[in-house]
Structure 1
């Protein structure tokens, strides 16, 4: 799938977000190495910690469908914001070199990478050292 189509999907998913508390709607489109695309939107809850970010929704959908390798994620927000720390950590479990496209509500796109946003992630190697 091309970049333009991924961006359009993320923007579409942003419209589906359930964000009555923060008003900060987020959509995501995650491209796997096999070419499949998994989408997500943020889902808030009155008990705030029970909500889930769009990026993790997309990752968990992909994992549940058997995908484990990812190339690009597009994250659509009002202001082109980056993934939160929890999403960065989850993404790093599967794609340390992930390409990230951030798109705002006007369609402006900025490119970054997971390594730039999370240069020293906690990972399986850290668990092995304590055994």
Structure 2
């Protein structure tokens, strides 16, 4: 038997004002689109802003449904929209902001497992890492240089 040790590394910014200017703008767009989320059941709003290599920004917010599995997370709304509208563009950066209507969300909220897998699909497809910045409604912002930090040992088409 052998043991595998997996280590992940994140950069931690005290708040969004510590981010590079272009990332501050992307985070602000994630915050603004978060406010437009359709979250009548969970009251938990998430916004995602994606910067593409063609200079375009694509936004997404979570969209809930009374039939819970029919809803979609903000990250996937934005990723799939980017893939549909700009199929040849590479995703460079994703900024994510999450907030609860009822409780302060002051710690960084990473993408859920389904969103991690969706990001991994696009990162594998484009053969280039995607920077991911994520935060709560305010406070610290975490940066991952690749989805591999959030989803080590990922599943992709080479496994089929």
The residue number in structure 2 matching 1:114 is: 147
Deviation at 1:119, TM superposition (A): 1.1
Deviation at 1:108, TM superposition (A): 3.2
| Aligned counterparts, 1:39-50, within 5 A | 39-50=59-70
User: What is the total number of aligned residue pairs between the two structures?
Assistant: 127
The residue number in structure 1 matching 2:158 is: 125
In the aligned structure 2, how far is the partner of 1:98 from the partner of 1:105?
22
**Which runs of 4 or more aligned residues in structure 1 lie more than 4 Å from their structure 2 counterparts after TM superposition?**
none
The residue number in structure 2 matching 1:13 is: 33
The one of 109, 132, 137 aligned to 1:81: 109
**Larger RCO (CA under 8 A, 6+ residues apart):** 2
**Secondary structure of residue in 1 paired with 2:44:** coil
Unpaired runs of at least 5, structure 2: 1-20, 100-104
106-115 or 41-50, larger mean C-alpha shift: 106-115
Larger radius of gyration: 2
Q: TM-score, normalised by structure 2?
A: 0.74
The residue number in structure 2 matching 1:28 is: 48
Deviation at 1:107, TM superposition (A): 4.8
Q: TM-score, normalised by structure 1?
A: 0.90
Q: Report if aligned partners of 1:29, 1:37 keep a CA contact under 8 Å in 2.
A: yes
Q: Report if aligned partners of 1:71, 1:95 keep a CA contact under 8 Å in 2.
A: no
